[in-house]
Chains A and B, each alone.
Chain A
Amino acid sequence: MLASQSTSAQVLVRQHPAEEIGFPDLEFEPPTVEEHEVEGVTVLLLEDHTLPLATIYVRLNGGYGLFSRDVYAAVSALPSLIRFGGTESLAPDSVDKILEYYAIQTSFGSGGDVITATANALVQHFPTTIDLLGTLLTEPAFDSNEVEVWRGRQIESVLRRADDPVRLAYSEFNHLLYGDHSIGWEMNAADLEPGDLSREQLLEVHSRIVCRDNLILGLAGDVNWSEVEHLVEGLVDRIKPCSVSLPESPIPTIRDEPGIYLIEKNVEQSVIVMAHATNLNLSDNPAYFSATIGNSILGGGGFSSRILSRIRTQEGFAYSAASLWTIPRRYPGLLGAVTSTRPENAVPAIKAILETMQGLVDSPPQPSEVTTAVDAVLNGFVFNFETSGQILSRMMFYLSADLPRDWLERYLAGVQSVSANSVHHAFSEHMQPEDMMVLIVGDTERMGQELLATLGPVTIMREKDFH
């Protein structure tokens, strides 16, 4: 049983009288996730009998980041074409009709190293749902018209990338930092030749990814194990063991050439994104917890954080401004910030963000800032258990990332040990504002060329340099 605590530490925090209302402890028993194994596949089950609905979650380790660039399009297309490309026995529109008729909601997605699928239905249609999902996963037809629709949509998306300055900035910044590593990839016309999406290519990547050793399953809703066991067995039985294991994704080398990288675009708002590499990893150690609380204080905690308070509330420079500190499991992450502001304010906004960062390098945060950030985690802990989907997806990620099953509880304990000094130590060790690579999409003339040069060496990125 978990019980919330009113404050994490005995720190003097300016309190509003409303906070002195006597709040009872929150007693709460998190729902139990059952863990089963079917032919070597881990299957998680969370019963939730509040509504007559049930959902199946499929997680397959294996995304484009585990393959070479020449199959980037094929792996990226795989989830979409499994869903929309028909099966050996059903044309694409027959699949659509069945899904729509039974009002089955599906979602298929992918990341750099994972493919996910979910299907949700009224509980009386759950056997049909699992069966159809099995057919989609194991008997894809990769209908040529659907392949062409997907390819055309991607080509159009490439054509429209520069229409949105935010998308352009993020895309080019990733490429700038990660180069030819898969994190820096962005689809382009050369990836989308018809041969890149041949049936043979698609079947090859399908066989490497949709196989039993890559699979984790989750079920949630108005069902119990005795009702679904045979359905799960039937599904697992249809997914063959993997013939070859997938490799781990390669460790990226993050570019380290501080300065201003400028993409000229005559727009009313400049987009700013800055970062440098850090070598902190997601693991059960104090530095990780100090970094997460530190990021909340720097700019990840909304109006309670320094960057938004300075850039938005005090200066009125931007609608949104935030820090980012990505802390991956296996390889280096990024520490930086993003915002958008009118061109005339771009340089002052960048300077204000760098000053705010430097402030946390120079001195520890106020103890009250740490208390606010930690209390937000402790008192809001119960929101980690709002929906069964949220609980199951999290557990499936822990299994996939080789994190302990009680990682959430360890996280809760870890953040309670964070202090102002440990946050200061994390920033002193990992944040160097002067080493930021800053990419700006904006109107150079209105931002001021001389002003930009005061921030560091300026590199103009031409459209031909875009990847």
Chain B
Amino acid sequence: MTAFRNISVILIALLTSSLQALEAQQTPGELLPVRQVTLDNGMRLVILRRPGAPTISFTVQFNVGGVNERLGTTGIAHLLEHMLFKGTTSVGTRNIEAELELYPWMDSTHDSLVAARARGDSVGALELSERIAQLEDSAAVFIESNEFDHVLTRAGARGLNATTTSESTVYFVDLPSNRAELWFALEADRMLNPVFREFYAERDVVAEERRMRVEVNPAGALAEAHLASAFRMHPYGVPVVGYMADLQVMSRQDVERYYRLYYGPNNAIVGIVGDLDPDQIEAWARKYFAAIPNAEIPPVVTAVEPSQRGERRTELEWDAQPQLQIGWHVPAGTDPDAPSLAILSSLLTGGRTSRLYRSLVLESRAATAVFSSLGPGMRYPQLLQISATPRAPHTTMQLEELIYEELELLIQEGPTDSEIERVRNQISAGSVRRIQSNIGLAFQLVESVALFNDWRETFRYSDKLRAVTADDVMRIARTYLTRSNRTVTTLIKTDDSK
């Protein structure tokens, strides 16, 4: 049997899809048997039993990230994330008393080092650096490096890691189901008794991470320059990995203070998904986490990005081929316009039939790739961003012209019914596919609780997307995709390497 021999058959199929039936139903996600629990100390948990292999995904999200930083200590949320793998008063040490005695000396030596550098005393700074290295060597005698990792590795853990974004920090790991209690014991210990050991070596590691992600990576450098240009007031403009100058002076005490400020249980949301017994999981949560004392409510972000009054253009010279990034200021991800913006983004670059892919890649062959996204976060007014890679000899300027032409066409004529229908169908299938992975679900649930204090809201979002009309798309495109509201950043090849 071979189908689709005749194009008219396809068109009939397009008009009579059974997918319409899905639209009126509750989304598959909302039917999940999720249990949401709040402990007396404010810690929130979402627990979900799913059939399958006997494994469990664990996530802990702290609502702190790049936006909770100031110039001078940029990158501190991310550095703290690294430090929380260094162990506790009982994990990672052979003699905690002897080890802890050394840190005040290390801290005060570092303060002197920063002061010596500030007054230009390079000889003194070198001596103090060597003194810190000696103190770290002394501490190393008492340290059992990477023991937190070793314990979980022996238990068969997979994917132990963490990620820091502009507005959250998430720690995650998968474990065989029979080792669930181990996670509670280790995680509660980490929240109560962290020790920021091996700090200066880890600060160097983060500096290497910055080199890898930004300083030798043209796409990373372009993204950093673009956000810095678009956000002049709001901390979305500051790189999460931090500026090198800040990383090089950050102290162990800075990180410890930051931890006390933002890592209270009331700022934490736990997601646990997999082959589990919800009653047992809740009992362990109460046993291990309830003892964590209440904390102050962390400070909120008050900075507001003023309205942009005029196009901003930035060029970044690099020993690399050109790239283009354009961003328009748009409302936060929780705004009523957010679903329309998501649909607009999909219409522009979601798949091979999207408008910009067709125009730039398939028809004019002026680009090899074009993408769009909303970000860098969701909680504050953000950017709708389009990035494109020109295909030589086409220039970024030509890509810009093609993009603006397509946007103007969309604003004037609006999307077609079939375009809207295509995006809606993708949303329907996506709402099923996105609940396939335990770890993906755990991330989704904790973010929904963080934003809306309701795990279901993440799944209701599909309904909001399906409700978007062609008029909505035209309205928001007209409102936000204006010249004066946009920031254009271009990576251009350095003259001496042309």
Scoring A21, A103, A317 by chain B CB atoms within 10 A of each residue's CB, the highest score goes to: A103
- CB-based contact A103/B7 at 8 Å: no
- CB-based contact A153/B176 at 8 Å: no
For chain B, residues 431 to 455, give those with C-beta under 8 angstroms from any C-beta of chain A.
432-433, 435-438
Q: Which of B98-106, B209-217, B456-464 contacts A (4 or more CB under 8 A)?
A: B209-217
| B127 located at the interface, meaning its Cβ lies under 8 Å from any Cβ of chain A in the complex | no
- CB-based contact B365/A316 at 8 Å: no
State the CA gap A145–B351 with chains docked (Å): 17
For chain B, residues 173 to 197, give those with C-beta under 8 angstroms from any C-beta of chain A.
174, 176-179, 181-182, 185-186, 189
With a cutoff of 8 Å between Cβ atoms, the chain A residues found around residue B186 in the complex are 16, 18
- CB-based contact B153/A21 at 8 Å: no
B44-56 vs A, CB cutoff 8 Å, 1 = contact: the mask equals 0000001111110
| A386 located at the interface, meaning its Cβ lies under 8 Å from any Cβ of chain B in the complex | yes
| B164 located at the interface, meaning its Cβ lies under 8 Å from any Cβ of chain A in the complex | no
Interface residues on A, range: 35 or more
Scoring B150, B207, B321, B432 by chain A CB atoms within 10 A of each residue's CB, the highest score goes to: B150
A98-109 vs B, CB cutoff 8 Å, 1 = contact: the mask equals 101111010000
- Distance of B188 from chain A, by nearest CB (Å): 10
If A50-B51, A145-B362 touch, whether A304 touches B146 (CB-CB below 8 Å) is: yes
Residue of B nearest to A391 (CB): B53
**The one of B178, B218, B358 that contacts A26, using a Cβ cutoff of 8 Å:** B178
- CB-based contact B178/A309 at 8 Å: no
For chain A, residues 85 to 135, give those with C-beta under 8 angstroms from any C-beta of chain B.
87, 89-90, 93-94, 96-98, 100-103, 105, 120-122, 124, 128, 131-132, 134-135
With a cutoff of 8 Å between Cβ atoms, the chain B residues found around residue A124 in the complex are 18
- Distance of B366 from chain A, by nearest CB (Å): 10
| B126 located at the interface, meaning its Cβ lies under 8 Å from any Cβ of chain A in the complex | no
Could you tell me which B residues sit within 8 Å of A by CB distance? 1-7, 10, 13-14, 17-19, 28, 50-55, 85, 90-91, 140, 144-147, 149-151, 153-158, 160, 174, 176-179, 181-182, 185-186, 189, 198, 200-209, 211-212, 215-218, 319-321, 351-353, 358, 361-362, 365, 368-369, 389, 391-392, 421-422, 425-426, 428-430, 432-433, 435-438
| A25 located at the interface, meaning its Cβ lies under 8 Å from any Cβ of chain B in the complex | yes
- Distance of A229 from chain B, by nearest CB (Å): 14
| A342 located at the interface, meaning its Cβ lies under 8 Å from any Cβ of chain B in the complex | yes
With a cutoff of 8 Å between Cβ atoms, the chain A residues found around residue B207 in the complex are 342
- CB-based contact A23/B182 at 8 Å: yes
With a cutoff of 8 Å between Cβ atoms, the chain A residues found around residue B204 in the complex are 316-317
- CB-based contact B3/A13 at 8 Å: no
State the CA gap A14–B181 with chains docked (Å): 19
- Distance of B202 from chain A, by nearest CB (Å): 7
State the CA gap A19–B148 with chains docked (Å): 11
If A18-B189, A28-B53 touch, whether A89 touches B352 (CB-CB below 8 Å) is: no
15 sample A-B contacts, Cβ–Cβ < 8 Å, listed by A number:
A23-B179, A50-B50, A93-B353, A97-B14, A100-B353, A101-B17, A135-B2, A149-B362, A269-B212, A312-B205, A313-B198, A320-B212, A376-B156, A376-B157, A380-B158
If A132-B4, A316-B205, A383-B55 touch, whether A16 touches B151 (CB-CB below 8 Å) is: yes
- Distance of A391 from chain B, by nearest CB (Å): 10
- CB-based contact B202/A316 at 8 Å: yes
A328-348 vs B, CB cutoff 8 Å, 1 = contact: the mask equals 000000000000111000000
Residue of B nearest to A131 (CB): B3
Q: Which of A159-167, A172-180, A275-283, A403-411 contacts B (4 or more CB under 8 A)?
A: A159-167
With a cutoff of 8 Å between Cβ atoms, the chain A residues found around residue B5 in the complex are 89
**The one of A21, A84, A302 that contacts B149, using a Cβ cutoff of 8 Å:** A302
If A16-B151, A28-B54, A314-B145 touch, whether A135 touches B209 (CB-CB below 8 Å) is: no
| A268 located at the interface, meaning its Cβ lies under 8 Å from any Cβ of chain B in the complex | yes
- CB-based contact A165/B436 at 8 Å: no
- Distance of A128 from chain B, by nearest CB (Å): 7
- Distance of B184 from chain A, by nearest CB (Å): 9
| A152 located at the interface, meaning its Cβ lies under 8 Å from any Cβ of chain B in the complex | yes
With a cutoff of 8 Å between Cβ atoms, the chain B residues found around residue A18 in the complex are 151, 182, 185-186, 189
Top 4 nearest A-B pairs by Cβ distance? A379-B156, A103-B429, A316-B204, A380-B156
State the CA gap A301–B153 with chains docked (Å): 9
If A96-B352, A145-B362 touch, whether A303 touches B155 (CB-CB below 8 Å) is: no
State the CA gap A316–B211 with chains docked (Å): 13
State the CA gap A364–B182 with chains docked (Å): 30
Known interface pairs A122-B432, A304-B149, A340-B211; 18 further A-B residue pairs with C-beta atoms within 8 A, sorted by A's residue number? A18-B151, A19-B151, A25-B178, A90-B4, A94-B4, A96-B353, A103-B19, A105-B429, A156-B368, A163-B321, A266-B319, A269-B211, A304-B150, A313-B145, A313-B146, A379-B155, A379-B156, A380-B156
| A246 located at the interface, meaning its Cβ lies under 8 Å from any Cβ of chain B in the complex | no
For chain A, residues 198 to 236, give those with C-beta under 8 angstroms from any C-beta of chain B.
234
If A18-B186, A135-B3 touch, whether A103 touches B154 (CB-CB below 8 Å) is: no
Residue of A nearest to B357 (CB): A96
A132-158 vs B, CB cutoff 8 Å, 1 = contact: the mask equals 101100010000011011001101110
- CB-based contact A53/B151 at 8 Å: no
- CB-based contact A100/B351 at 8 Å: yes
State the CA gap A382–B175 with chains docked (Å): 9
| A371 located at the interface, meaning its Cβ lies under 8 Å from any Cβ of chain B in the complex | yes
- CB-based contact B321/A101 at 8 Å: no
| A457 located at the interface, meaning its Cβ lies under 8 Å from any Cβ of chain B in the complex | no
A411-434 vs B, CB cutoff 8 Å, 1 = contact: the mask equals 000000000000000000000000
With a cutoff of 8 Å between Cβ atoms, the chain B residues found around residue A131 in the complex are 1-4
With a cutoff of 8 Å between Cβ atoms, the chain A residues found around residue B365 in the complex are 148-149, 152
| A51 located at the interface, meaning its Cβ lies under 8 Å from any Cβ of chain B in the complex | yes
- CB-based contact A103/B2 at 8 Å: no
**The one of B218, B351, B432 that contacts A53, using a Cβ cutoff of 8 Å:** B432
- CB-based contact A153/B368 at 8 Å: yes
**The one of A17, A101, A155 that contacts B14, using a Cβ cutoff of 8 Å:** A101
| A318 located at the interface, meaning its Cβ lies under 8 Å from any Cβ of chain B in the complex | yes
Residue of A nearest to B178 (CB): A26
| A378 located at the interface, meaning its Cβ lies under 8 Å from any Cβ of chain B in the complex | yes
Residue of A nearest to B366 (CB): A152
State the CA gap A26–B203 with chains docked (Å): 39
Scoring A24, A51, A303 by chain B CB atoms within 10 A of each residue's CB, the highest score goes to: A303
**The one of B3, B200, B203, B432 that contacts A52, using a Cβ cutoff of 8 Å:** B432
Residue of B nearest to A21 (CB): B181
- CB-based contact A16/B90 at 8 Å: yes
**The one of A4, A28, A313, A341 that contacts B156, using a Cβ cutoff of 8 Å:** A4
Scoring A24, A50, A97, A124 by chain B CB atoms within 10 A of each residue's CB, the highest score goes to: A97
- CB-based contact B351/A96 at 8 Å: yes
- CB-based contact B54/A26 at 8 Å: yes
| A69 located at the interface, meaning its Cβ lies under 8 Å from any Cβ of chain B in the complex | no
**The one of B53, B218, B353 that contacts A163, using a Cβ cutoff of 8 Å:** B218
Residue of A nearest to B189 (CB): A18
If A4-B176, A340-B212, A382-B53 touch, whether A53 touches B433 (CB-CB below 8 Å) is: yes
State the CA gap A210–B361 with chains docked (Å): 28
